[in-house]
Structure 1
Amino acid sequence: MQAIYASSDQSQFLLQFKKSIDIDNTASSGCDSNGVPSYRGTKSWNRSTDCCRWDGVTCNELSGEVIGLDLSCSQLHGVINSNSSLFQLSHLKWLNLACNDFSSSLISSVDFASVIPSNVSASLTILNLGSTNLYGKCPADIFQLPNLVRVELTNKRDLYGYLSDVKWNTTTSTLSYLALSESDLESNQLTGQLYDFQYQSIQRIYLSGNKLDGPVPKSVSKLVNLALLDLSSNNFGGVVQASMFSNCNQLQTFDLSNNNILLITDGVNSTLPQSVAFLFLSSCGIKDLDFLVPANNLYKLDPSENLLHGDIFSDKKGYNWSQRLFYLNLSYNSLIDLSQIPLPNLLYLDLSSCLLQGPVVIPPASVQVFMIPDNYLTGESHHQYAN
């Protein structure tokens, strides 16, 4: 295959960026702690070799133009300014700077949609600045890049902004992955309401741990390719019909926990798609689990802090997911009595503060973690499960 060579100006832009950034072996410590070794990503960058052969650099096989830059987990530390030489790479399609430390960079000074040359804005499809400690105002016009497929801005420090400024019905129709959620224990500070989505390409939405409010857009029902929806730990409010999601037949992970939402699960077509495998509905005002009877792919279920009452497993025809479920958190409900737990493959069970009375509950033999404090049970729990 014919060798690929980049133009000298592109090598120069990359070397200028290398010179502007320091190497700090602690800057990508999150990678190391998660089993992904960090490395000095720009170590191979020097004038003796063409930049198309440098680590993290991808070039067009025909033109030699730099089209991709992946410097994730590269121990980079410093400041990215709006005049960074990176933004001179006019054919860049993907930019991944995740898991480095740009803690001195104010993100609003990097106004991607206006600072990057128009030909870069037109070509950029993937932008990942997750876990980089960027802070400041998240520019709404970043979502107007016409061919953007994936954007990730998850960070430990505060990103703030008003998402009501984003007109999702006029933004790119190619977006399939949106991640603006919290990282670790700290959250971003994005506020405002979500406008209706008018396109079907999006597959994953992470917006947890912000301060978004207003109703959940009804247009979510049109996102037929949606596989993950995480709106947890915001201020979304109002009534949400479970039937809203009945057409999302690719949905696997669904999290509405810890908002001000009342999830209505009765009525026609109130069941969730059978594709749902990981379901988190803490504090959603749920009164029973009947709407989950048809589900057959559930592996993880958290309906904690709801209005569940009585023995939820008695007098049931059986849940289709009972053979698959390995995680169940029923804490902070009013179960009072559980005479049986027909979940033979369960590994984790939390019954904390469920107002349980009578003899101590015996979990399925498969359970490895069993939490049952703050109830009114008599007898002793086996020491293996006591918590």
Structure 2
Amino acid sequence: MLLSVVMELVLILIQRWNLGGRALIAARGMGLRVIELRVPLELSHLSQLASLDLSKNDGVSLKTSVLNRLVQNLTKLRELHLDQVNMSSVSLSSLMNLSSSFTSLTLSDCFLCGRLPDHIFRLPNLRELSLARNPELTCFFPMVNWSQPLRLLDVSSTIHSGELPKSMGKLNLLEHLILNECKFNGSIPAWLGNLTQLTFLDLSSNNFGGEIPSSVKNLKALSYLDLKLNQYLSGKLPMWLGNLTRVTKLFLGNNSFTGQIPSSLSNLKDLTYLGLRYNNFGGRIPDLLTNLTKLTHAWLSYNQLTGQICEFQLGNSLEFLMLNGNKLYGSIPKSISNLVNLQYLDISSNDLSGIVEIDKPTKFNELQGLDLSYNSMLLSIKNRLPWKNLLYIDLRKNLLQGKLPVPPSSSEIFFISENNLTGNIPSMICNASSLRVLDISHNRLGGTVPQCLGNFSNDLVVMDLRMNNFHGTIPDTFVKENQLTTLVFNGNQLEGQLPKSLVNCTKLEVLDLGNNKIIDFFPSWLESLPELKVLILKSNRFHGPIGNHKSSGEFFTKLRILDLSHNEFSGLLPRNYFQNLNAMMTSEGENLQYLGESNYYQDSVVVTQKGSEIELQRILNIFTTIDLSSNKFEGKIPEVLGRLTILRLLNLSHNGLTGHIPLSLANLSALESIDLSSNKLTGEIPMQLTSLTFLAMLNLSQNQLIGPIPQGKQFDTFENDSYYGNLGLCGLPLSIKCRTDASPLPSPSIFQEDNDSMFASGFGWKAVLMGYGCGFVFGLAMGYVFWFKTEKPQWLVRFFDGGNGKTGWPNNQRPRRRRS
């Protein structure tokens, strides 16, 4: 009696665990220590138990020993539901003991791993089996003797391979078949047509190919069909799809279907969701968008649809209308205002034109997302956008004129770049306190930047004001604990000093202040920004030395792009900064991704390569560059640069750097471009640089380099302009051959005019270099020519004027200087 009461209480506690799961989540959120709950062994004493459901309880785990006792002792158990119970330590062999009387087994999201015994698929009375979302669980379907009563089979997001076995075609009672994300391949099997009781079929996210088999038309009871993300499915959609009149949701996106969208789909009167995006459908938009009155979601994005947008009838149920990425032209029909339930409208990236007046009262009271970007529409917006529930606004790259409209206070994403907006930023924009992304770049806006932009939104992640005409200073109102990750003011007329409140932007990853008129020393206090990945200060009026002060700890460890070019920085190159650039030393453990992609906004940057500016519209996290060109740096190139082994672009040109090219640069195995031109570098080009197999651009021109040019590998692809202005270089691709019958030239360090009487009298290193390149005798002669203005050696004078004591060229015909 006592035992039965205890067990009854245990069952009550189990039923309460759903609340307990939420309590565990809350406790973790408060930082409290949570003890993992384990399924008690005492449950195995409930010998009369027929159904046990412990599913959807966060933090509950199950051991193999407990599971063994459950399946051995609970002989009357017919249903076992353990979804979301942690079974990572359970031996799958324990499932071999499941009773043949089992009718329902659900083990989804259980962290199962290893190979599942195919005995599970043969339980003779099993009606429901779910093993979904166990990505480390390997399943092999049996070739014979399936559980014939199966009504539901869900093995989605588990490990499979190969083709579906024919034996599944005998499960003629199956109603739900869910096999998505399992890496099945081959053709969709024709035997699917035998499963005439199917109401739910999901074969998405596999590698199926070919056409949809005609036998699928036998599935008259089907209400849900999902074949998306199979990329190899192709051909035209068959007209018989319109005969599956019970289908309410049809997903065929992300495949390779062609032809026109069949008009027969208009027969699917109960259709609520139509997903056809990312295919190659052509022709005009079918009338089904008008005829299907229950349709709420229409995804036709990224196809080859042409013509004008169809007319819409009053009472249409559409909530999501996605026509972006096609070839639609003309204007937006006025009947679109009949879509009174519309929540998201995306007609971006088409060829739409015409005048769109969106400042007038409309019926789009439910509108939350609006994307009209990348068209040629002339948008009429007077003051502010009218829809109070609008969260996402994208009006980029149209013909929008006039003043900057103010988004609703509820808005989170606001793109209005690449238009022709003029005037000032209205102060009312600071009422949009929910904004996360503000991109008003590439317009003709002017005036000063409102001070409130530094603190108007606690959620602001991106602020992009580049390529406008703003003047004045950058707001000094950035508050502590702000969420900014991207801050871009590039291409304006901003001046003054950098605001010190930028130190409060501790989550900042991208800071781009290039192409302004900022006058300041290098802001060493930026070292305190731990997440900084991109720092661009190019083309301003920064001055003074940088980076060689004593700093404690590590800083700039995540920096990937550093551009300080076209300023007036001086002194030595920042050696201590170079030795902290950990993100340029190794890429181990990093997944390839683009900066900023998680915030709808895509970070971009302009880099200089081979004298031209190139815009990278997406910044891959492994892209690394250092550009310190066009400053007043001097001294040697530090050897520590050789530690930046994944550096891709290096530009130190147009400075006053001296000394040799460091041998350590040969360690930059990922280097694609190096520009050391217009400095005072001496010595030979290190032969070790030929090991840089990715090097596509080399510029060593206008230095004082000597000796043979390295040969082989990438160096065989560089032309004369890579070495122009180095009179002491020889070898291909130059026409000057290297001497092999003479001793090497002395080091450039001895070519000092105050170290030798010959040089002191005016016969300097330039003449010797000419001798090296053009013949020693001719070089000596040219050296004396340079000397003519001070002292004229008589023997050379006699040589040229025939002993008459006159100088000059016959008939006043001086030789013209050969153009390089």
Both proteins in one fold, TM over 0.5: yes
1-side partners of 2:490 and 2:262: how far apart?
Answer: 46
Deviations 1:174-221 (A, max 9, x none): 111000112xxxxx2110111211133111011111111111121221
Deviations 1:34-55 (A, max 9, x none): xx94754985862675552764
2-side partners of 1:208 and 1:142: how far apart?
Answer: 21
Change in CA separation of 1:378 and 1:173 when aligned onto 2, cut-off 3 Å: same
Alignment-derived partner of residue 344 in structure 1: 457
Alignment-derived partner of residue 356 in structure 1: 470
1-side partners of 2:467 and 2:340: how far apart?
Answer: 38
Tell whether the 8 Å contact from 1:220 to 1:244 is kept in structure 2 after alignment: no
Higher helix share: 2
Alignment-derived partner of residue 283 in structure 2: 161
Matched, 1:301 2:414: yes
Change in CA separation of 1:190 and 1:364 when aligned onto 2, cut-off 3 Å: farther
1-side partners of 2:389 and 2:404: how far apart?
Answer: 17
1-side partners of 2:262 and 2:175: how far apart?
Answer: 34
Query: Of 275, 297, 302, which aligns to 1:177?
Result: 297
Alignment-derived partner of residue 80 in structure 1: 211
Query: Of 174, 189, 195, which aligns to 1:52?
Result: 174
Alignment-derived partner of residue 61 in structure 1: none
- Mapping for residues 217-366 of structure 1, pairs under 5 Å: 217-243=333-359, 246-266=362-382, 271-284=385-398, 285-290=400-405, 292=407, 295-314=408-427, 316=428, 319-321=430-432, 323-336=433-446, 337-340=448-451, 341=453, 343-345=456-458, 346-360=460-474, 364-365=478-479, 366=482
- Mapping for residues 122-133 of structure 1, pairs under 5 Å: 122-133=245-256
Letter in 2 for 1:378: K
1-side partners of 2:425 and 2:274: how far apart?
Answer: 41
Matched, 1:152 2:275: yes
Tell whether the 8 Å contact from 1:329 to 1:351 is kept in structure 2 after alignment: yes
2-side partners of 1:65 and 1:279: how far apart?
Answer: 45
Q: Cα offset for 1:142?
A: 3.0
2-side partners of 1:53 and 1:142: how far apart?
Answer: 23
Alignment-derived partner of residue 31 in structure 1: none
Change in CA separation of 1:331 and 1:206 when aligned onto 2, cut-off 3 Å: same
Tell whether the 8 Å contact from 2:242 to 2:267 is kept in structure 1 after alignment: no
Change in CA separation of 1:291 and 1:67 when aligned onto 2, cut-off 3 Å: same
Q: Cα offset for 1:277?
A: 0.5
Letter in 1 for 2:535: A
Letter in 1 for 2:449: L
Alignment-derived partner of residue 205 in structure 1: 321
Alignment-derived partner of residue 228 in structure 2: 98
Please, which moves more after superposition, 200-209 or 341-350? Answer: 341-350
CA RMSD of aligned residues (A): 3.2
Tell whether the 8 Å contact from 1:357 to 1:378 is kept in structure 2 after alignment: no
Letter in 1 for 2:257: L
Change in CA separation of 1:89 and 1:39 when aligned onto 2, cut-off 3 Å: farther
2-side partners of 1:148 and 1:215: how far apart?
Answer: 28
Alignment-derived partner of residue 192 in structure 1: 307
Tell whether the 8 Å contact from 1:152 to 1:179 is kept in structure 2 after alignment: yes
Deviations 1:5-29 (A, max 9, x none): xxxxxxxxxxxxxxxxxxxxxxxxx
Matched, 1:66 2:198: yes
1-side partners of 2:464 and 2:335: how far apart?
Answer: 34
Find the residue that maps to 2:168 and give its secondary structure: coil
Please, which moves more after superposition, 277-286 or 231-240? Answer: 277-286
Letter in 1 for 2:248: T
Tell whether the 8 Å contact from 2:331 to 2:352 is kept in structure 1 after alignment: yes
Tell whether the 8 Å contact from 1:266 to 1:291 is kept in structure 2 after alignment: no
1-side partners of 2:395 and 2:158: how far apart?
Answer: 36
Tell whether the 8 Å contact from 2:449 to 2:474 is kept in structure 1 after alignment: no
Query: Of 535, 545, 566, which aligns to 1:386?
Result: 535
Find the residue that maps to 1:106 and give its secondary structure: strand
Change in CA separation of 1:374 and 1:39 when aligned onto 2, cut-off 3 Å: farther
Alignment-derived partner of residue 241 in structure 2: 116
Tell whether the 8 Å contact from 1:257 to 1:282 is kept in structure 2 after alignment: yes
Letter in 1 for 2:254: S
Change in CA separation of 1:37 and 1:375 when aligned onto 2, cut-off 3 Å: farther
1-side partners of 2:307 and 2:464: how far apart?
Answer: 34
1-side partners of 2:390 and 2:346: how far apart?
Answer: 13
Letter in 2 for 1:166: D
Indicate the structure whose relative CO is greater, using CA pairs within 8 Å and at least 6 residues apart. Answer: 1
Q: TM-score, normalised by structure 2?
A: 0.37
Find the residue that maps to 2:217 and give its secondary structure: helix
Tell whether the 8 Å contact from 1:161 to 1:190 is kept in structure 2 after alignment: yes
Find the residue that maps to 1:46 and give its secondary structure: helix
Deviations 1:45-84 (A, max 9, x none): 6267555276418xxxxxx8212211222x2322124x52
Tell whether the 8 Å contact from 1:214 to 1:235 is kept in structure 2 after alignment: yes
Tell whether the 8 Å contact from 2:312 to 2:336 is kept in structure 1 after alignment: yes
Gapped runs of 5+ residues in structure 2? Answer: 1-78, 80-102, 105-155, 180-195, 494-515, 527-531, 537-820
Change in CA separation of 1:362 and 1:142 when aligned onto 2, cut-off 3 Å: farther
1-side partners of 2:168 and 2:219: how far apart?
Answer: 17
Find the residue that maps to 1:130 and give its secondary structure: coil
Q: Cα offset for 1:242?
A: 0.8
Find the residue that maps to 1:229 and give its secondary structure: strand
Tell whether the 8 Å contact from 1:221 to 1:244 is kept in structure 2 after alignment: no
Q: Cα offset for 1:244?
A: 6.1
Change in CA separation of 1:90 and 1:53 when aligned onto 2, cut-off 3 Å: closer
Gapped runs of 5+ residues in structure 1? Answer: 5-35, 58-63, 183-187
